[in-house]
Amino acid sequence: MNNAQAPKVKKDSKNKIRVEFDRTPLIDRLRAKFLNLYTVKRVVWYLFRFLLLLGVSYIILFPFFSKVSSSFMSETDFVDVTVRLIPKSPTLQTYEAIITENSYFKAFGNTLVLSLVCAVLQTFICCFIGYGFAKFKFKGSGALFLLVIFTMIVPHSTLKLSMFLHFKDFDILGILGIFNKLGVLERPGIPLLDTNWPLWIMSATGLAYKNGLFIFLMRQFYRGIPDELEESAYLDGSGVFKTFFTIIIPLSVTMIVTVFMFSFCWQWTDTFYSSLFYTQTGPLLLNRIIKIPDSLAELTEASSSALFGAAVKNTCGILIIIPLVIMYLFGQKYIVQGIERSGITG
Amino acid sequence: MNKVIDKKVAPKKNKKPASLDAKKARAGWIFVLPFILGFVLIYLPIIINSIRFSFSEIRILTEGGYELEFVGLTNYSNAIFVDPGFTQALVAGMKQLIIDIPCIVFFSLFIAIILNQKILGRAAFRAIFFIPVILTTGLIGQIDANNAMLQNMQSGSANMGLGEEESATSQILSVVDVQQLFANMAIGQGLVKYVVDAVNSIFDIVNRCGVQMLIFLSGLQSISPAIYESCSIDGASGWETFWKVTLPMVSPMILVNTIYTVIDAFTASKNTVMAYIDNVYSSQVGGNVLSSAMSWMYFMLVIAIIGIVAAILSTFVFYQRRD
């Protein structure tokens, strides 16, 4: 630049001037722009991040790929060492056997009814409770919220026995027990085992699996909504509930979808409650179809390794999560959005 | 004049309808009512019964109902002194907890920060990272847990047809490699093993990070971009910005996440203590009351741990003052 001559200024017309000067060559300019430590650092960091994410994504996705591919393999493929991910003799017999012999559709229907009602109830109730905690100041709200956290901390397996007995003879505050002692009723409560009622009751009162977390998430989300919005609604003569249903609920669709997906999926794949409240004679749920179908039993024993048996069980797993995968494909953008908008602070 | 006005106002005050605050408080109670009802009518009896059972013998009657016989602390002393494996399982479980928690919290924070930055295919990566929260729970986790095939896959090898010798050699990292790498550094054996174990159980860790990642992401989103802008104008590097801005701003979330991780880790059915208690519940005679005694002891221990962790962490937590 030192030996560059002073720029010449030419007057083109009345309102236009042109300046001529020696530009540094393109290569030098590019070098100055890109070959400095700052840019190099950024590029390296970008590549590092990208590769890391790619690697972890691979770790997450690979089991699913290999499960799907192994579900199409026939038993000979498991003995063949050269077969890795792509089956040599693809077959649908595993799927057929599971669907027909393990009565997949019956279990599917039962679980769908159970999970759908549970998820809708949980989502709505947690919304309601979360809004109550977020926007209203009343005496004891802090203590009540601590109780919500408490229900989240106490693991339900600690309460296994007493939960079982509570719903074996369901009773509210011992009222029915008194009738029993008076001889009016035969049993000291309503037997609710093998029905969907225990889970529905717990969902309707915000006590089911991880509902404390849902209430917490909803509360944080509603705290992020400015109070002015509701105040203007109140000024326009809308009541508290009308405001909630017409203004707040539409605003929180993303969070509602998130909570709904969590509750539905966790109920769908649940084993704890479905083995606690349902006996062998009760309605068939998805957790009981994970077994090797009779027509395949011989093959799994014959093929010496346990791999084929494992693959059959994996296929059961795939059949179970198919609806969840479809739902996730449609709902995942809501999860990300919903989380982005809830400013959670401790 | 003043007196007259006072008299006029005073009777009106009594007739006045409830103030806005009182109305709102009432509405608040109505919103929270489902939880209160459930807690008082269903949860409290269950909790109280569970505590009662842990102090009693139980006989479940065939025609419905049950009989209790108060036996004092017998169940508790049985759990500690008579039962062969409980204390061992407890110690092992605690050790596992202490190892797992920092790993999960830091990993989820790290991934959340990366997912929060601009990068090619960010939406796709986010969608992939939340898959385990939705899909690898309960049943699927149970199928995976006792699955020889998956163990092979987790250790990074695609060859399912091969036996166990293969899987042992195809781990992502082995202790020996890392030791050679760090041979001349003054890093303890324990730390090396810890890192290697963490890398090899990455599948497990990623699976358990989902909710924590969501919470961290939302926390990062709530940091105002103006702060980062002023930092970069003042010439702070990314590294400095992380320590001086990001970390203090997400520190409340670190507290929340640590507590959540403790709760999640110790209520998970994979947990050694939980598995042991479940086993006692279903296998032994009188195991049902013994297991409630055990789980209450376990619960107390974990409450103590949560208390300690919260006390330590809350001294470092920075709350932004809000106006």
- Structural domains in chain A, CATH included, are 104-289 (1.10.3720.10)
Distance from CA of B183 to the nearest CA of A (A): 25
Q: Is the pLDDT of residue A106 over 70?
A: yes
Structure tokens at A122: 């949980």
> Residue B167: pLDDT band by 50, 70, 90 thresholds?
very low
CB atoms B217 and A169 under 8 Å: no
Overall average pLDDT of the B201-222 stretch:
80
> Residue A153: pLDDT band by 50, 70, 90 thresholds?
confident
The secondary structure element, H or E, covering residue B169 is helix B164-169
pLDDT tens sequence across B258-280: 888 888 887 776 677 777 777 77
Query: Is B49 a domain residue?
Result: no
Q: Give residue A185's pLDDT.
A: 62
Q: Give residue A148's pLDDT.
A: 87
High-pLDDT (> 90) share of chain B, %: 2
Distance from CA of A27 to the nearest CA of B (A): 28
Residue B298 domain boundaries = 80-146+187-314
Q: Give residue A119's pLDDT.
A: 92
Q: Give residue A304's pLDDT.
A: 53
Identify the residue with better confidence: B106 or A303. Answer: B106
Q: Is the pLDDT of residue B32 over 50?
A: yes
What CATH number does residue B294 fall under? 1.10.3720.10
Query: Is B36 a domain residue?
Result: no
Overall average pLDDT of the A273-301 stretch:
73
Q: Give residue A123's pLDDT.
A: 92
Query: Is B68 a domain residue?
Result: no
Query: How many CB pairs below 8 A link A and B?
Result: 303
Residue B179, number of CB atoms within 10 A of its CB = 14
Nearest CB to B38 within list A186, A206, A314: A206
Contact list in A for residue B111 (CB cut-off 8 A) is 56
Q: Give residue A14's pLDDT.
A: 81
Q: Give residue A196's pLDDT.
A: 81
Q: Is the pLDDT of residue A227 over 60?
A: yes
Nearest CB to A125 within list B28, B34, B291: B34
Q: What is the DSSP string of B96-147?
A: HHHHHHHHHHHHHHHHHHHHHS--TTHHHHHHHHTHHHHHSSHHHHHHHHT-
Chain B, window 185-204: residues with a beta carbon less than 8 angstroms from a chain A beta carbon: 202-203
Structure tokens at A173: 């505050």
* Out of A76-90, A108-122, B159-173, least confident range: B159-173
Q: Is the pLDDT of residue B58 over 80?
A: no
User: Which residues of chain A form beta strands (DSSP E)?
Assistant: 8-11, 17-20
Contact list in B for residue A79 (CB cut-off 8 A) is 161
Contact list in B for residue A242 (CB cut-off 8 A) is none
Burial class (CB in 10 A: 0-12, 13-18, 19+), A157: buried
Most confident of A42-46, A139-143, B18-22, B77-81: A42-46
Q: Is the pLDDT of residue A83 over 80?
A: no
Distance from CA of B1 to the nearest CA of A (A): 34
Chain A, window 297-336: residues with a beta carbon less than 8 angstroms from a chain B beta carbon: 306-307, 310-311, 313-314, 316-317, 320-321, 324-325, 328, 332-333, 335-336
Nearest CB to B35 within list A148, A160, A345: A148
Burial class (CB in 10 A: 0-12, 13-18, 19+), A21: exposed
Please name the residue of chain A whose CA is at the shortest distance from the CA of residue B37: A205
Q: Is the pLDDT of residue B255 over 70?
A: yes
Q: Is the pLDDT of residue B12 over 60?
A: no
Contact list in B for residue A336 (CB cut-off 8 A) is 123, 126-127, 130
Overall average pLDDT of the A41-59 stretch:
87
Is residue A170 within 8 A of residue A190, CB to CB? The reply is yes
High-pLDDT (> 70) share of chain B, %: 71
Q: Give residue A316's pLDDT.
A: 81
Q: Is the pLDDT of residue A235 over 70?
A: yes
pTM, two decimal places: 0.78
Overall average pLDDT of the A325-337 stretch:
79
CB atoms A344 and B263 under 8 Å: no
Nearest CB to A313 within list B60, B66, B143: B143
Chain B, window 103-132: residues with a beta carbon less than 8 angstroms from a chain A beta carbon: 111, 114-115, 117, 119-120, 123, 125-132
Please name the residue of chain A whose CA is at the shortest distance from the CA of residue B115: A53
Half-sphere exposure of A165 (CA within 13 A, CB side): 25
Overall average pLDDT of the B314-318 stretch:
80
The secondary structure element, H or E, covering residue A39 is helix A37-71
* Out of A19-33, B61-75, B145-159, least confident range: B145-159
Distance from CA of A9 to the nearest CA of B (A): 35
CB atoms B46 and A162 under 8 Å: yes
B42 touching A (Cβ < 8 Å): yes
CB atoms B46 and A157 under 8 Å: no
Distance from CA of B3 to the nearest CA of A (A): 34
CB atoms B129 and A188 under 8 Å: no
> Residue A120: pLDDT band by 50, 70, 90 thresholds?
very high
Residue B263, number of CB atoms within 10 A of its CB = 20
Query: Is B261 a domain residue?
Result: yes
Q: Give residue A314's pLDDT.
A: 79
Identify the residue with better confidence: B286 or A51. Answer: A51
Overall average pLDDT of the A32-56 stretch:
86
Q: Give residue B154's pLDDT.
A: 45
Nearest CB to A62 within list B29, B134, B153: B153
> Residue A121: pLDDT band by 50, 70, 90 thresholds?
very high
CB atoms B29 and A138 under 8 Å: yes
Selected residue of A43, A79, A138 to mutate for chain B interface (largest B Cβ count, 10 A): A138
Q: Give residue A33's pLDDT.
A: 81
> Residue B15: pLDDT band by 50, 70, 90 thresholds?
low
Return mean pLDDT, chain B: 74
Q: Is the ipTM of this complex over 0.85?
A: no
Please name the residue of chain B whose CA is at the shortest distance from the CA of residue A156: B267
> Rounded to 5 degrees, what angle do the CA atoms B175, B176, B181 make?
100
CB atoms A166 and B140 under 8 Å: no
Q: Is the pLDDT of residue B163 over 60?
A: no
Please give the single-letter amino acid code of residue B250. V
The distance between the two most distant Cα atoms of chain B, rounded to a whole number of Å, is 101
Query: Is B66 a domain residue?
Result: no
Number of domains, chain B = 1
Overall average pLDDT of the A52-69 stretch:
83
Most confident of A6-10, B118-122, B181-185: B118-122
Overall average pLDDT of the A111-117 stretch:
89
CB atoms B38 and A306 under 8 Å: no
Q: Give residue A302's pLDDT.
A: 61
Chain A, window 192-251: residues with a beta carbon less than 8 angstroms from a chain B beta carbon: 201-202, 204-207, 213, 215, 220, 224, 240-241
CB atoms B222 and A62 under 8 Å: no
Identify the residue with better confidence: B258 or A185. Answer: B258
In this structure, are strands B66-70 and A17-20 parallel, antiparallel, or unpaired? unpaired
Query: Is B176 a domain residue?
Result: no
Distance CA A56, CA B43 (A): 40
Q: Give residue B233's pLDDT.
A: 92
Distance CA B89, CA B91 (A): 6
Q: Is the pLDDT of residue A186 over 70?
A: no
How far is the first Cα of chain A from the last one, in angstroms, to the nearest whole number? 56
Q: Give residue B1's pLDDT.
A: 45
CB atoms B38 and A204 under 8 Å: yes
pLDDT tens sequence across B65-120: 566 677 777 777 777 777 777 788 888 888 877 878 888 898 899 988 888 888 88
Overall average pLDDT of the A137-164 stretch:
81
